[in-house]
């Protein structure tokens, strides 16, 4: 891998995004809009509906949005022939995927910061630990979505295949992450499955920040999320084949 | 000196053999035309040389190394059938990106733009260019980094005849001045006369290898299209 090439890919992807303002605005504003919608739903109800759900959704929504966009993104390069050209050049497979990860990671940072800022300043979200940690966890979760999306896009051969990974990889994680049924209350087998899914760690980290001043277990959860990010990118790079049929 | 040597090149795709043991060379300083109808395996052959085709067996040596070797990346300029450039970037942004992947410097970007006559379009977004201009952008990218071999898959398809002639002149200039080897595919038999040597291909086999004159003389015909027909009939007559 060469930093020069990785950075060239990252700048090029960002430049392409800048040429597509509709996608960029969607990426950055969608999580904020969904959180505002959630807040509105609970406006006339007593209790803490929004405050109890918002931390988990701050983990989920940027994750889902980034997954969706990145899971089809490198496939455009397959269709246009540019991937084949790049792989015939001194382009490392890791350079290619990491370049994409850096570019979309930058978008994920902006998106998550905005979502956290709006939730705390405007929607009255109150967390026990520091807001800084809320932002850190939100960013890590959005980058996790980016990395898993890139893995899928390296693995899939067509956009049609890529979109099918959303229900396969993402929906079970949403169901088992503790949002609907507390993870401790799940049947044994499902609990064990949920214990290894990356999104469970992401949501756990969010809950720790929301509910406890010292955010217990936050370091471990974050480390696992980062581990999954690295593993997804590495596996993605390995499944990218220079030779194709 | 041969820049490409293929011996018994076979390609299997999905359990079916699509190239059936081809032998040929590309010499330095020559423009070798790969002619045949669409679907005969031209792109598969070119992809095998570039090293991006799966299921290749036999020996394919490129610039002294086995095809697809790591050391070859960056020494081959490759134009695929699709334009293989970024539609949403400008001409200059495309060239600068590929140049930084290859480690070529900025002066080379300008040199390639001039060479392909794209200076006026440098700040245009590729999506707004005509088909012919797009394939020229793709060719400009292939010239970056001083390649020793150019592999061009139907670079002249759909172009206006004036532009087509200019491109063939450019191919010969490149072959002449730097001793570059060029292999250029086309399904238009009229382009045969513009090549130094030809590979005539049909259904994954080579019908003939030689200069246009040799091939027409051997078949007692006056143009390559008739020679192609004569060779096919001869083959079927024997079989």
What pLDDT, on a 0 to 100 scale, did the predictor assign at position A244?
87
What pLDDT, on a 0 to 100 scale, did the predictor assign at position A201?
95
Tell me the mean pLDDT in the region A160-180: 90
Report how far Cα B132 is from the mean position of its chain's Cα atoms.
16
Tell me B154's DSSP state: S
Q: Which residues of A touch B147 (CB under 8 A)?
A: none
Task: Spell out the residues 6+ positions from residue A185 whose beta carbon is closer than 8 angstroms to its own.
Answer: none
pLDDT in tens, A8-26: 999 999 999 999 999 999 8
pLDDT > 70: what percent of chain A?
100
For chain A, give the mean pLDDT: 92
Q: Are B77 and B63 in contact (CB under 8 A)?
A: no
Tell me B29's DSSP state: T
Q: CA of B224: how far to CAs of A19, A58, B74, in Å?
A: 47, 68, 34
**The two three-digit tokens of residue A218, written as one number:** 């936050």
Q: Are B195 and B32 in contact (CB under 8 A)?
A: yes
Tell me A179's DSSP state: S
What pLDDT, on a 0 to 100 scale, did the predictor assign at position B87?
94
pLDDT in tens, B43-69: 999 999 999 999 999 999 999 999 999
Interface of B with A (CB under 8 A): 13-14, 50-56, 68, 73-74, 76, 78, 80-89, 93, 97-98, 100-103, 125, 141
What pLDDT, on a 0 to 100 scale, did the predictor assign at position B82?
86
Tell me the mean pLDDT in the region A109-134: 92
Q: Which SS3 state, helix, strand or coil, does residue B95 take?
A: helix
Tell me the mean pLDDT in the region A220-228: 96
Cβ-defined contact of A245 to B14 (cutoff 8 Å): yes
Cβ-defined contact of A16 to B103 (cutoff 8 Å): no
Calculate how close chain A gets to B114, using CA atoms only, in Å.
22
Residue in A80, A86, A89 nearest the CB of B82:
A80
The two most distant CA atoms of chain A are separated, in Å, by 62
**To which residue do tokens 């007593």 refer?**
A46
Q: Supply the DSSP string of A73-87, one letter for each residue.
A: HTHHHHHHSHHHHHH
ipTM of the complex in this document: 0.90
Calculate how close chain B gets to A8, using CA atoms only, in Å.
6
pLDDT of A91 above 80: yes
What pLDDT, on a 0 to 100 scale, did the predictor assign at position A47?
74
Task: Spell out the residues 6+ positions from residue B234 whose beta carbon is closer than 8 angstroms to its own.
Answer: B219
The H or E element that residue B201 is part of is strand B197-202
Q: Name the nearest CA neighbour of B29 among B178, B142, B140, B153.
A: B178
Which residues, in sequence order, are bridge partners of residue B60? B6
Burial of B216 from C-beta contacts in 10 A (0-12 / 13-18 / 19+): buried
Calculate how close chain B gets to A184, using CA atoms only, in Å.
48
What pLDDT, on a 0 to 100 scale, did the predictor assign at position B237?
62
Note the pTM of the prediction, 2 decimals: 0.91
**To which residue do tokens 């999954």 refer?**
A228
Cβ-defined contact of B83 to A85 (cutoff 8 Å): no
What pLDDT, on a 0 to 100 scale, did the predictor assign at position B238?
54
The model's confidence at residue A193, banded by pLDDT at 50, 70 and 90, is very high
Q: Which SS3 state, helix, strand or coil, does residue A50 take?
A: helix
Query: What is the torsional sign of CA A16, A21, A26, A28?
Result: positive
CA distance B228 to B215: 9
Q: CA of A132: how far to CAs of A54, A89, A149, A209, in Å?
A: 16, 42, 26, 10
Report how far Cα A19 is from the mean position of its chain's Cα atoms.
23
Best mutation target among B50, B65, B86 (most A Cβ atoms within 10 Å) is: B86
Q: Which SS3 state, helix, strand or coil, does residue B172 take?
A: helix
What pLDDT, on a 0 to 100 scale, did the predictor assign at position B236?
73
Cβ-defined contact of A85 to B13 (cutoff 8 Å): no
Q: Is A80 left (phi over 0), alpha (psi -120 to 50) or beta?
A: alpha
Q: What is the mean pLDDT, run by run of 10 residues, along chain B of 239 residues?
A: 94 95 96 95 96 95 95 93 92 97 92 92 95 90 94 88 90 90 92 94 95 94 92 74
Calculate how close chain A gets to B12, using CA atoms only, in Å.
9
């Amino acid at each position: 891998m060469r930093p020069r090439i990785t950075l060239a890919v990252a700048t090029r992807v960002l430049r392409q995004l800048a040429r597509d303002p509709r996608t960029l605005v969607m990426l950055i504003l969608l999580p904020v809009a969904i959180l505002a919608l959630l807040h509105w739903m609970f406006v006339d109800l007593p209790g803490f509906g929004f405050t109890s759900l918002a931390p988990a959704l701050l983990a989920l929504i940027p994750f889902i949005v980034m997954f969706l966009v990145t899971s089809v993104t490198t496939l455009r390069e397959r269709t246009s022939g540019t991937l084949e050209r790049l792989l015939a050049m001194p382009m490392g497979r890791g350079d290619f995927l990491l370049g994409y990860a850096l570019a979309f990671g930058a978008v994920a940072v902006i998106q998550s910061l905005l979502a956290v800022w709006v939730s705390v300043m405007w929607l009255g979200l109150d967390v026990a630990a520091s807001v800084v940690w809320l932002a850190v966890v939100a960013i890590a979760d959005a980058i996790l979505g980016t990395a898993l999306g890139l893995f899928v896009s390296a693995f899939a051969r067509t956009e049609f295949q890529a979109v099918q990974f959303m229900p396969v990889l993402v929906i079970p994680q949403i169901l088992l992450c503790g949002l609907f049924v507390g993870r401790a209350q799940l049947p044994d087998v499902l609990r064990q499955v949920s214990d290894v899914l990356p999104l469970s760690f992401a949501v756990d980290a969010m809950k720790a920040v929301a509910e406890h001043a010292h955010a217990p277990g936050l370091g471990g959860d974050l480390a696992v999320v980062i581990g999954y990010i690295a593993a997804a990118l590495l596996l993605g790079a390995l499944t990218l084949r220079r030779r194709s049929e | 000196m041969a820049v490409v040597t293929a011996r018994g090149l076979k390609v299997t795709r999905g359990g079916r053999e699509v190239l059936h043991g081809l032998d040929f060379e590309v010499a330095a300083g020559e423009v070798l035309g790969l002619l045949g109808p669409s679907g005969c395996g031209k792109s598969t052959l070119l992809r095998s040389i570039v090293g991006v085709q799966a299921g290749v067996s036999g020996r394919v040596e490129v610039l002294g190394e086995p095809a697809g070797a790591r050391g070859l990346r960056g020494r081959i300029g490759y134009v695929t059938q699709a334009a293989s450039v970024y539609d949403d970037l400008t001409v200059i942004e495309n060239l600068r990106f590929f140049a930084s992947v290859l480690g070529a410097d900025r002066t080379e970007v300008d040199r390639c733009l001039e060479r392909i006559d794209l200076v006026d379009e440098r700040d245009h977004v590729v999506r707004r260019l005509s088909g012919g201009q797009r394939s020229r952008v793709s060719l400009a990218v292939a010239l970056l980094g001083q390649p020793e071999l150019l592999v061009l898959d139907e670079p002249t398809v759909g172009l206006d005849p004036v532009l087509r002639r200019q491109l063939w002149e450019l191919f010969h200039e490149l072959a002449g001045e730097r001793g570059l080897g060029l292999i250029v595919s086309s399904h238009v038999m009229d382009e045969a006369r513009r090549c130094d040597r030809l590979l005539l291909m049909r259904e994954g086999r080579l019908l003939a290898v030689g200069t246009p004159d040799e091939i027409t003389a051997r078949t007692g015909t006056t143009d390559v299209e008739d020679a192609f027909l004569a060779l096919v009939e001869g083959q079927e007559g024997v079989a």
